[in-house]
Amino acid sequence: ASVEGRRMVESRRSLPAFKQRDSVLKAISQNQVIVISGETGCGKTTQIPQFILESEIEANRGAFCNIICTQPRRISAMSVSERVAYERGEQLGESVGYKVRLEGVRGRDTRLLFCTTGVLLRRLLVDRNLRGVTHVIVDEIHERGMNEDFLLIILKDLLSRRPELKLILMSATLDAQLFSSYFGGTGVIHIPGFTYPVRSYFLEDILEMTGYRLTPYNQIDDYGQERTWKMNKQIPRKRKSQIAFVVEDALRAADFKEFRPETQESLSCWNPDCIGFNLIEFILCHICENGSPGGILVFMTGWDDISSLKEKLQIHPIFGNPDRVMLLACHGSMASFEQRLIFEEPASGVRKIVLATNIAETSITINDVAFVIDCGKAKETSYDALNNTPCLLPSWISKVSAQQRRGRAGRVQPGQCYHLYPKYVYDAFAEYQLPEILRTPLQSLCLQIKSLNLGSISEFLSRALQSPELLAVQKAIEYLKIIGALDENEYLTTLGRYLSKLPMEPKLGKMLILGAILGCLDPILTVAAGLSVRDPFLTPVDKKDLAEAAKSQFSRDNSDHLALVRAYEGWKKAEVESAVYDYCWKNFLSIQSMRAIDSLRKEFFSLLKNIGLIDGNPAIYNSEGNDENLTRAVICYGLYPGICSVVHNERSFSLKTMEDGQVLLYSNSVNARETKIPYPWLVFNEKIKVNSVFLRDSTAVSDSVLILFGGSISKGNIDGHLKMLGGYLEFFM
Ligand code: ADP
Ligand code: MG
């Protein structure tokens, strides 16, 4: 143990943060608030909280100190706490613990707790002064996540009530001044780092160097195929994306004239809407054949494209061979054994390849990386306040993110970074990413403000680091009133109080609450989980008809949501017979999405149990004999006011919403195959605006269901309404 221990001390001492130990501790003792910036991997997250803990112990205050360190993601809270406990030679749950949604390890003697920002916000619900807490460390503030910006407003108020409380903010970029002036000009410490030079290759350099040819077809793969198909067939593209023009203009201006004609030809075929899996595979081969040793980190957009690429690489003779390559995924929903593998050193002669989301940009440092492949995109919620249309789509990253990604290649030796887009596109990137509070719907945030008793929503938000537009705030409040979470005076209703305790979109929470009470929780768990993951129904371009026919087998009643419920029931049965692969293949279902639905169902169930709405087993809450009309009503209750009217004409029908006028259906909706819909309304989950407004996943409902389950019914007391609903239901059934 002592050899191990000595090595640990050595490796801690070698981190740049260690050299700043004394100045950090001194600054903390002299200021109530300090901001620490330092490059990813310099030791902020693992070391600074330990410095504080150690110095409190040295000063004989160990028994009284209580340090909370927040992380934007659960995965980093878990992995960091494990690491810090290990560095201290302890088990998790002794002096170091963690707490994330639904999980945690902490003991009586835990003095340093890593938690998600959401967990600290929920603690503030019951303990607004954070009694007994001596230090709050807010990590990764440069990301400007909604929860972190929100927490900073609250902490700013709290500091005057708790003058002895210390606040430490940590950032991986050099934006410390912004935060320092928000807190009235506080101490700032920068930890200088060291990295090796990284050589950048943009798309044109890659093509020129390797001779790889892009054609309109070789950028298409299972995953990209689906997306391209969606772009081409479902969304009429009158205009090309801005990004495509940037490259076209450069080509026209002969800016690539010193490049070979083949390279120029290839660039003109580049499809900015696709992540070229084939190109990634080619570059991986190129590195393995020519490059020096070192890990490869591939930045992708999310769990879905990561698992698709992983499946593709697993059947490759090199990448699928564990004696040559350690192939890993790194994203927010990975299992904890997979997390541990990411930090593990591969056997000699084995190269580590990690397919990661932007989690690996700043929150998780993978040690031995020397090569980075950057697809240039990340998934983020973008939000248009005017149209109230949120959507989670991959979008181009900022220059700062691209530089962060590149920097990951230079930690251990001079590195290389392959950007899968031309330099001209990089030049067109925004300098910084907009803070989340300015680009996402504010409904959940508004509920939290209300449940924390923070007064007027708009007054409160005007005190943010950067305040959202008034229009966006008004839209959110209006929505919460319509769904019955707030009353006319902006007070939280009973439903609103329940919703604020459920860390999920209000519409999902609403659906689950009523599903639990009305005894159809089982199908509603599937619907709510299905709305949270990538569409499990696949539509490959060359098998479109077969795929759509497969989906329509699950549907008899004009509902995509109920089609999913049946598809999931079949999947469960196939699981018992160990036949899920066959089942998914035959029915064009994404096996990853089905698995994700399965695990989200369990998570939602535990959350409902936590707030005391249910106990026991979900089967109990499934009404006998599959009452689909009841399920349909609960779906309507959740999705309202996402509703459009069905207008029939001679041969088919058209759809209208109040705000948008005519709207269209995604072509893989079961309702898009119909010529007639025997109901007057469709409720839908999501609107996406691209030239026209498209609806994704819809369920047809009748007048009576809409009247009974449309939002306004839940105003006031939830119990009273449920009694009333019960009465109506008996009457109607
Ligand atoms: P920062 O927060 O400044 O980005 P960290 O404190 O997270 O840096 O990491 C400091 C160092 O500790 C890095 O070199 C990182 O690779 C290493 N490290 C962090 N977590 C682990 C872990 N779970 N296993 C092994 N090494 C780790
Ligand atoms: Mg960190």
15 lines ligand 1 (CB under 6 A): yes
Helices (H) and strands (E) in the chain, counts: 31, 21
43 lines ligand 1 (CB under 6 A): yes
pLDDT value at 633 more than 50:
yes
Beta-strand (E) ranges in 322-408? 325-330, 351-356, 369-374, 377-382, 391-396
* Bigger pLDDT: 617 vs 544: 544
Work out which ligand 1 atom sits closest to the CA atom of 83: 23
81 lines ligand 1 (CB under 6 A): no
Strand order in the sheet with 166-171: 103-105, 96-100, 112-116, 67-71, 135-138, 166-171, 33-38, 187-191
Note the pLDDT of residue 663: 93
Write down the residue that tokens 């040793």 correspond to.
293
Give, for ligand 1, the residue of 365, 367, 368, 408 to mutate: max count of ligand atoms closer than 8 Å to Cβ.
365
The mean of the pLDDT values for the chain is 87
Whose alpha carbon is nearest atom 7 of ligand 1?
Answer: 45
**To the nearest whole percent, how much of the chain has pLDDT over 70?**
90
Confidence category of residue 616, pLDDT binned at 50, 70, 90: low
Nearest CA among 558, 548, 539 for reference residue 675: 558
Whose alpha carbon is nearest atom 22 of ligand 1?
Answer: 83
Question: Does the ipTM surpass 0.95?
Answer: yes
> What mean pLDDT do residues 699-719 have?
67
User: Phi, psi at residue 664, to the nearest 5°?
Assistant: -120, 160
Q: Tens digit of pLDDT for each residue in 159-217?
A: 999 999 999 999 998 788 999 999 999 999 999 987 899 999 999 999 999 999 998 77
83 lines ligand 1 (CB under 6 A): yes
Note the pLDDT of residue 509: 93
pLDDT value at 373 more than 70:
yes
Note the pLDDT of residue 610: 85
Whose alpha carbon is nearest atom 24 of ligand 1?
Answer: 343
Nearest CA among 98, 158, 76 for reference residue 124: 158
pLDDT value at 658 more than 90:
no
Q: How close is the Cα of 119 to the center of ligand 1, in Å? A: 22
β-bridge pairing 67-71 and 112-116: parallel
Note the pLDDT of residue 380: 63
Whose alpha carbon is nearest atom 14 of ligand 1?
Answer: 41
| Interacting residues of 251 by C-beta distance below 8 A, sequence separation 6+ | 264, 267, 268
Q: How close is the Cα of 694 to the center of ligand 2, in Å? A: 40
* Bigger pLDDT: 729 vs 6: 6
Q: Tens digit of pLDDT for each residue in 405-456?
A: 999 999 889 999 999 999 999 999 988 888 989 988 899 999 999 999 999 9
Confidence category of residue 106, pLDDT binned at 50, 70, 90: very high
Nearest CA among 552, 556, 567, 714 for reference residue 632: 556
Q: Tens digit of pLDDT for each residue in 241-286?
A: 677 788 888 888 888 999 999 999 999 988 887 888 999 999 999 9
Contact of 408 with 356, CB cutoff 8 Å? no
Rounded to whole angstroms, the Cα distance separating 168 from 172 reads 14
> What mean pLDDT do residues 463-479 have?
94
| Interacting residues of 549 by C-beta distance below 8 A, sequence separation 6+ | none
Nearest CA among 223, 363, 352, 377 for reference residue 297: 352
Note the pLDDT of residue 523: 94
Q: Tens digit of pLDDT for each residue in 229-241?
A: 444 443 333 345 6
Note the pLDDT of residue 394: 73
Amino acid identity, position 375: C
Q: How close is the Cα of 44 to the center of ligand 2, in Å? A: 6
Which ligand lies nearest to the CA atom of residue 40 in the structure? Answer: 1
Note the pLDDT of residue 173: 85
367 lines ligand 1 (CB under 6 A): yes
> What mean pLDDT do residues 699-709 have?
86
Rounded to whole angstroms, the Cα distance separating 136 from 83 reads 19
Confidence category of residue 102, pLDDT binned at 50, 70, 90: confident
404 lines ligand 1 (CB under 6 A): no
Rounded to whole angstroms, the Cα distance separating 723 from 680 reads 27
Note the pLDDT of residue 390: 43
Note the pLDDT of residue 434: 87
Note the pLDDT of residue 439: 83
Q: How close is the Cα of 192 to the center of ligand 2, in Å? A: 15
Alpha helical stretches, state H, 611-651:
628-639
- Please give the radius of gyration of the chain, using alpha carbons only, rounded to the nearest integer: 27
Confidence category of residue 617, pLDDT binned at 50, 70, 90: low
Tokens of 39: 């490059």
142 lines ligand 1 (CB under 6 A): no
> What mean pLDDT do residues 69-90 have?
93
pLDDT value at 11 more than 60:
yes
Confidence category of residue 543, pLDDT binned at 50, 70, 90: confident
Note the pLDDT of residue 711: 55
Most distant CA pair in the chain, distance = 84
Work out which ligand 1 atom sits closest to the CA atom of 364: 7
24 lines ligand 1 (CB under 6 A): no
Give, for ligand 1, the residue of 11, 21, 83 to mutate: max count of ligand atoms closer than 8 Å to Cβ.
83
Rounded to whole angstroms, the Cα distance separating 602 from 596 reads 10
Give, for ligand 1, the residue of 10, 35, 46, 92 to mutate: max count of ligand atoms closer than 8 Å to Cβ.
46
Contact of 640 with 515, CB cutoff 8 Å? no
Q: How close is the Cα of 102 to the center of ligand 1, in Å? A: 25
Rounded to whole angstroms, the Cα distance separating 699 from 697 reads 7
Tell me whether the omega of the peptide bond preceding residue 641 falls within 30 degrees of 0, making it cis.
yes
Nearest CA among 641, 697, 708 for reference residue 526: 697
Work out which ligand 1 atom sits closest to the CA atom of 38: 3
How many Cα atoms are found within 13 Å in the side-chain-facing hemisphere of 371?
23
343 lines ligand 1 (CB under 6 A): yes
Note the pLDDT of residue 225: 45
| Interacting residues of 374 by C-beta distance below 8 A, sequence separation 6+ | 299, 402, 405, 406, 417, 418, 419, 420
Q: How close is the Cα of 140 to the center of ligand 2, in Å? A: 7
Minimum mean pLDDT among 56-70, 351-365, 436-450, 709-723: which range?
709-723
Tell me whether the omega of the peptide bond preceding residue 216 falls within 30 degrees of 0, making it cis.
no
**Top mean-pLDDT range of 601-610, 616-625, 686-695:** 601-610
Which ligand lies nearest to the CA atom of residue 71 in the structure? Answer: 2
pLDDT value at 104 more than 50:
yes
> What mean pLDDT do residues 565-592 have?
92
Strand partners of residue 415: 198
> What mean pLDDT do residues 100-119 have?
94
365 lines ligand 1 (CB under 6 A): yes
